[in-house]
A and B are shown apart, each in its own frame.
Chain A
């Protein structure tokens, strides 16, 4: 009841005022050429809270990248020093040599190939997508960092942290599944001493699941670094890890 009254009061108080909005798209405001206007976040008069829910969609989609959504007020978060944050994030991954990026960016600017392909090449060059490389990519290509990061984080095929010295990929596709891949994956986890996909404590192996390596015939399929092993069994999985350890002198 109280709410309704409050709302009514608001409505009434607005009645004598001149409308602020126009019936877009029928009516359009005359704007000076190249007007950039001013952004203003609409405030909900009933709650006195900003209507923006800090979804950052506008930040992502603004063609000239002039929006910065700072959501600490909305959710009452402690003030964040953005610059420091960016520095820290970069520092997290240590220094990154940006020279391998040169041919990739040049090739991209020349052919305009898709971002996926570029990120793929960056991952091939570094083994993962270093933050510094993504920033550089954004600077040079003019593609916003949020778009690059969004594409990179969309698929778990892109790694955002450096992998271990060896990568074991277990196929979790349906053909391999039907041929016993879950048992093989379990055996690999047991042999590596980890509970789920990830890197072993000693940073020796990264275990990852992949969806179909496209050689479904002789399933189950496991790829160790670049070698594909077919018709795997739990037993061979144990042996494989053992061989890797022996080859590396890790016990």
Chain B
């Protein structure tokens, strides 16, 4: 081994404090997910209950309670697993903790009635590895999420974090790193989604010797939380990815944009950065190898327009987040006018894996001609939402039905909205489409069921883009506004003949001649729904009814006298007090005063409240 290698290895050995590792492979531990969603469903109390129960039984020496990052099946939280057996418990409450301790920790057998139940067979599933949600996944980027304590750098190092970086430093061939990233086909979701490696290479071409590495976890579109999950669950993966980028392109400064509402992710990252600085993994002359690099955090509220790199850079520089004309591309003149590489947190987190395992291995993780994996945040009207990582090229159906468990009981899958307001809505019949470049710009995957009106959904999505556009380009500024007005009048029952054609025309113009991805893609949901759900538009415009029973101006509430048992519940709860009827007798709604708040339908124990598509003659469209 060369002298350089020895020196770096020795310095790295110094970084690692094995005694601080809270969890070793094969050791007895209880892993409690402490990430945002689980924390929201009470993971903190569950953790305390485990600690108390173990102390009470004097077992705190043998069993450790580890707070991990997100395991991915967030809707089932709080998630607990008992290692090394890998017994998986969803929806754990503090009350069930003593039983888990008694039977699983001490007795070594699962508590059957607390186990996850297979959605199809209803049979309990004991091991995490067999839970269908995790079965269809291929977790490379998220490999350590949910397995390590994200607040401990030693845990991360014990799981080989920073190994790729150390090896790259020893090899001292920045070009090889770029080659590997380029060949792996790794893509980023920011800006014009494209190859990460080729951006790195382009950044090298510049004449400036100062370069920047920018990471964004802004996820400006609703329903996206993949970057947050990575930062929260394995922050060192992102830092290592950025270190490798810095090494490859010779940058000294990095910036991470985090969303302010994602306080936990910001805190985790901040803590991880402090630890890295203390241990000499960030700062001057890292590991004595001559590379100096540090990362700063920029927390801001989410902004959809920051999906464009130049807008993001403007915002990082403290200006209005307004995109600018390219060229020059950010790789030529980005942050502070210097060559800058911009990627999302998920992409950076994939870099260490690629450098360690080789470009070919990453590329081969995809199906057919697709390369690598894709990380999605699955949410909406689906049984098991969470963060999933699947081979690129996996069909949407697999993700939604096998991993997500399909629509909620009693509902029918209607469409899938991918990529947020700038993405697309695919009808349930088109779910064979492979996940790859679909919605390349965002991680959000929202499942919609039969209670979603596609016209109103288009209005909803467009209203977000309209609000968030920066206003520079006329087609975007006026086009989205006018389209939105048309959609608003359609859902309000004032649609006119020709509106559909007008929308299509406006949408097409709007997607041409704009400066950034926002204006370019804002009309996607409108154009897509116009194509795939034309009948719903027609029902709204010509028949003045909303088939899904959503648009308030186009529906009527009524009570089915056959089904109503006269329990009076709805009459008690109706805020408009328009339900009448005697106890034990079928109740009636006076539609003229009904505000369509949906409370009666939600409270009726017998499902007797019906929502009819269309309005009765008594109520003129648009007045309700």
Which chain A residues have a beta carbon within 8 Å of chain B's beta carbons? 111, 113-118, 120, 143, 147, 150-151, 154-158, 171-180, 183, 186-187, 190, 211-219, 228, 230, 233-235, 238
Contacts and interface: CB of A to CB of B under 8 A. Distances in A.
Contacts of B74: 217
Contacts of A190: 575, 595, 597
Contacts of B444: 174
The winner among A120, A154, A157, A238 for most chain B CB atoms within 10 A is: A154
Interface string B32-50: 0000110011000000000
Contact of A178 (B228, B261, B446): B446
Given A143-B318, A156-B467, A211-B222, A175 B300 contact: no
A219 B379 contact: yes
A117 B40 CA distance: 25
Given A114-B300, A175-B222, A183-B597, A215 B381 contact: no
Contacts of A212: 221-224, 302
A230 B222 CA distance: 16
B381 A216 contact: no
Interface stretch (B118-126, B192-200, B457-465, B613-621): B457-465
A183 B555 CA distance: 14
B385 interface: yes
Interface of B: 36-37, 40-41, 74-75, 77, 219, 221-225, 228, 259-262, 296, 298-304, 315-321, 377, 379-381, 385-386, 417, 420-421, 444, 446-449, 452, 457, 460-461, 464, 467, 470, 573, 575, 595, 597-599, 602-603
A170 to B, nearest CB: 12
A150 B457 CA distance: 31
B22 to A, nearest CB: 26
Nearest to A213: B261
A117 B464 CA distance: 23
19 contacts: A111-B296, A116-B300, A120-B260, A147-B319, A150-B319, A174-B221, A174-B380, A174-B421, A174-B457, A178-B446, A178-B447, A212-B221, A214-B228, A214-B261, A214-B262, A215-B37, A218-B40, A234-B599, A238-B575
A217 B597 contact: no
A11 B260 CA distance: 59
A158 B376 CA distance: 29
Contacts of B385: 216-217
A168 to B, nearest CB: 15
Given A214-B259, A228-B40, A235-B602, A115 B318 contact: yes
A238 B298 CA distance: 37
B40 A230 contact: yes
Given A151-B319, A212-B222, A117 B300 contact: yes
A213 B299 CA distance: 15
A178 B573 contact: no
B269 to A, nearest CB: 14
A217 B222 CA distance: 12
B426 to A, nearest CB: 14
Nearest to A235: B599
A115 B379 contact: no
Contacts of B320: 150-151, 154
A89 B301 CA distance: 26
Given A187-B597, A235-B602, A174 B318 contact: no
Contacts of A117: 298-300
B304 to A, nearest CB: 8
A154 B300 contact: no
Nearest to A209: B467
Contacts of A176: 222
A174 B446 contact: yes
Contacts of B302: 157, 211-212
B573 A114 contact: no
A234 B597 contact: yes
The winner among A115, A151, A186, A214 for most chain B CB atoms within 10 A is: A214
Contacts of A215: 36-37, 40
A143 B318 CA distance: 9
A114 B469 CA distance: 21
The winner among B228, B381, B449 for most chain A CB atoms within 10 A is: B381
Given A147-B319, A173-B222, A219-B379, A235 B603 contact: yes
A149 B163 CA distance: 46
A212 B442 CA distance: 14
A186 B597 contact: yes
Given A151-B315, A178-B448, A213-B261, 17 more contacts: A116-B299, A116-B318, A120-B299, A150-B319, A158-B301, A173-B223, A174-B460, A180-B598, A211-B222, A211-B302, A211-B304, A212-B224, A214-B225, A214-B261, A215-B40, A216-B223, A238-B575
